[in-house]
């Protein structure tokens, strides 16, 4: 095939892939079109990968095949073994892998350029004197390595393998600034002395250290924001590598990931009422032991049974479910749908109050409820449901804790202080379904459980919902 024709086919295919990525992202913005959007993105990626394999500079397919095989085996193992509840760690790790791939590819291209230039070949000589190429390579190394080390630390914190508490030390900000200045200086060396590859690996090492220093002072409660931010960084690293390789589709895909990641970060910051600067440099999110569980709960907890809750629901007009992480753990969502249908048959209004950070990943509750075909119209956001909460007869909190904890609203010294919550305590009565009085992700007691209008229905979420359905049917 003539080179010009091959190039046109490649570029047109890349354009098609980019259009599919953009339309796919647009589709993901709404649950109804999300599956189609996902498929469009996947088809776009397939086109991009297949077309890239026609690149005439590929000298052998063996390593590509081994890489694909290795990646696929690892991917399948992750997909099969990782629990739904450990998704944030896995997403975090995958962001890190994106950073790793970016800086390794950029490093390999820089090395190849150096070898070719040393042999006096024109391609190498052109590249090592092209500032655009060299700056992109340095950026790829810098952002890619920060993404890798920062994501690994965030994942280890979420997994509980290293302390979730912020690790603070004296002169912390100064140390971070010095390492940052060091990485900038090393980036300049990479650009000025491209024939000496060691500068590139020094840069990668220093940026890796910066990633660790940036994440260790951040508390576990803020990790969702950090993961979203590194998602954005992984896209930026890929876009920089796209410039290194002069591959348009990688530049576009990387920029899309970078931009959508930063939008997600902003949404998460808003949901937790935090500024990004505060998350990154404030070092809050610590588990403050200022509120003791005994003080909050002693003598004030009233437990209930499925029969009692069924009777309360029989008399209710408006019921709101507040799902949380425990619903996901218990896989109670199918029973929630059955209960909703039963109540709706009796003419009751049933809605779902969805907190943006309920569960362990953005959209966690929406996905679980959508899988049960619960209509999207019934899912109400925090700002929408809170003003009418006092009009709710029964609020059923199913495996949620932090997102309904009044301390976030009423106290200044907890890891979730300032985070908007679903004001279930304003409902006429509240039923909380969970197994014990254990705290949620933020590790603090919840005064909601001790309120006069709260009844605790202790048990596994699924079992409790099954019992509730049976009791309601038996009325
Ligand atoms: P949490 O505050 O984590 O509380 C979940 C509750 O579920 C626990 O108190 C637990 O109590 C209960 N539970 C666990 N397994 C259960 C089961 N089998 N049956 C019934 N209950 C069960 O959850 P939330 O209210 O959804 O808040 C989410 C928290 O995670 C927030 O702090 C948020 O910042 C954080 N976070 C969110 C994300 C995203 S993006 N959504 C990512 C990472 C972290 P028992 O043990 O007593 O049953």
Q: Average pLDDT of the chain?
A: 92
Asked if residues 124 and 225 have their Cβ atoms less than 8 Å apart, the reply is no
Could you tell me if the CB of 308 is within 6 A of ligand 1? no
Most confident option among 95-104, 166-175, 277-286: 95-104
Q: Which atom of ligand 1 has the smallest separation from the CA of 437? A: 47
Residue 341 CA to ligand 1 center (angstroms) comes to 25
pLDDT tier at 284, thresholds 50, 70, 90: very low
Using the structure block, give the residue that is written with the tokens 């305590």.
425
Output 3 or 112, whichever has higher pLDDT.
112
Average pLDDT over residues 77-86: 85
CB-ligand 1 contact for 364 (6 Å cutoff): yes
How many angstroms does the Cα of residue 346 sit away from the middle of ligand 1?
A: 31
More confident residue, 357 or 200: 200
Q: Residue 226: CB within 6 Å of ligand 1?
A: no
Give the C-alpha distances (Å, rounded to integers) separating 466 from 35, 335, 347, 458, 470.
30, 6, 21, 13, 6
Decide: 274 in ligand 1 pocket, CB within 6 A: no
Indicate the top mutation candidate among 326, 329, 446 to test ligand 1's pocket, ranked by most ligand atoms within 8 A of CB: 326
Q: Has residue 332 got a pLDDT over 70?
A: yes
Mean pLDDT (whole number) for 294-318: 94
Give 285's pLDDT tier (boundaries 50, 70, 90). Answer: very low
* pLDDT > 70: percent of the chain: 98
In this structure, the dihedral spanned by the alpha carbons of residues 108, 111, 113 and 114, taken in order and rounded to 10 degrees, is 180
pLDDT at 290: 59
Q: Is pLDDT of 228 > 50? A: yes
As a whole number, mean pLDDT of residues 449-459 equals 97
Residue 291: the pLDDT is 67
Q: What is the mean pLDDT of residues 369-394?
A: 93
Of 237-246, 303-312, 413-422, 444-453, the least confident: 413-422
CA of 175 to the centre of ligand 1 (A): 35
Most confident of 59-73, 155-169, 174-188, 208-222: 174-188
- Would you state the structure tokens that stand for residue 422, as one six-digit string? 């679903």
pLDDT band at 286; cut points 50, 70, 90: very low
Which two three-digit tokens encode residue 114?
């150096």
Q: Are 347 and 371 in contact (CB under 8 A)?
A: no
Task: Please say if the pLDDT value at position 457 is more than 90.
Answer: yes
Distance 323 CA to ligand 1 centre (A): 9
Q: Best of 220, 287, 336, 399 to mutate for ligand 1, by most ligand atoms within 8 A of CB?
A: 399
The answer to whether 114 and 124 have CB atoms below 8 angstroms apart is yes
152 vs 294, residue with greater confidence: 152
SS3 state of residue 195: coil
- Would you please indicate which residues are annotated as catalytic (active-site) residues? 402
pLDDT for the residue numbered 153: 96
């Amino acid at each position: 095939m003539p080179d010009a024709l091959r190039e046109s086919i490649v570029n047109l295919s890349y354009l098609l892939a980019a259009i599919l990525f953009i339309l796919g992202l647009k589709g993901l913005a709404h649950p109804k079109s999300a599956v189609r959007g996902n498929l469009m993105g996947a088809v776009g990626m397939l086109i991009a990968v297949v077309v890239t394999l026609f690149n005439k500079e590929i000298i052998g397919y063996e390593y590509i095949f081994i890489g694909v095989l290795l990646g696929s085996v690892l991917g399948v193992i992750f997909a099969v073994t990782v629990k739904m509840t450990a998704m944030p760690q896995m997403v975090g790790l995958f962001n890190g892998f994106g950073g790793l791939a970016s800086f390794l590819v950029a490093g390999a291209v820089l090395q190849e350029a150096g070898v070719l230039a040393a042999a006096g070949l024109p391609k190498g000589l052109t590249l090592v004197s092209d500032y655009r190429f060299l700056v992109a390579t340095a950026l790829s190394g810098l952002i890619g390595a920060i993404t890798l080390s920062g994501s690994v630390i965030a994942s280890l914190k979420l997994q509980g393998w290293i302390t979730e508490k912020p690790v603070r030390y004296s002169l912390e900000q100064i140390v971070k600034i010095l390492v940052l200045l060091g990485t900038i200086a090393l980036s300049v060396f990479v650009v000025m002395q491209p024939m000496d590859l060691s500068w590139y690996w020094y840069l990668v090492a220093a940026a890796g250290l910066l990633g660790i220093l940036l994440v260790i002072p951040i508390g576990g409660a803020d990790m969702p924001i950090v993961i979203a931010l590194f998602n954005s960084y992984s896209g930026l690293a890929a876009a920089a590598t796209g410039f290194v390789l002069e591959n348009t589709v990688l530049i576009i895909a990387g920029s899309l990931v970078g931009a959508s990641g930063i939008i997600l970060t902003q949404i998460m910051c808003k949901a937790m009422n935090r500024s990004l600067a505060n998350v990154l440099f404030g070092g809050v999110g610590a588990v403050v032991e200022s509120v003791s569980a005994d003080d909050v709960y002693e003598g004030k907890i009233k437990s209930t049974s499925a029969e009692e809750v069924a009777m309360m629901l029989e008399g209710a007009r408006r019921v709101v479910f507040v799902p949380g992480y425990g619903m996901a753990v218990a896989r109670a969502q199918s029973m929630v749908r059955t209960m909703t249908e039963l109540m709706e048959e009796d003419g009751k209004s049933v809605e779902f109050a969805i907190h943006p950070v309920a569960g362990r990943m953005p959209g966690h509750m929406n996905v679980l409820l959508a899988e049960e075909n619960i209509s999207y119209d019934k899912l109400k956001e925090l700002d929408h449901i809170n003003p009418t909460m006092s009009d709710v007869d029964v609020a059923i909190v199913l495996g949620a804790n932090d997102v309904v904890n009044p301390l976030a609203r009423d106290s200044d010294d907890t890891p979730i202080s300032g985070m908007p919550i679903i004001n279930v305590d304003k409902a006429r009565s509240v039923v909380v379904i969970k197994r014990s009085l254990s705290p949620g992700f933020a590790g603090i007691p919840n005064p909601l459980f001790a309120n006069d209008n709260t009844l605790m229905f202790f048990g596994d979420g699924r079992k409790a919902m099954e019992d509730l359905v049976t009791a309601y049917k038996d009325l």
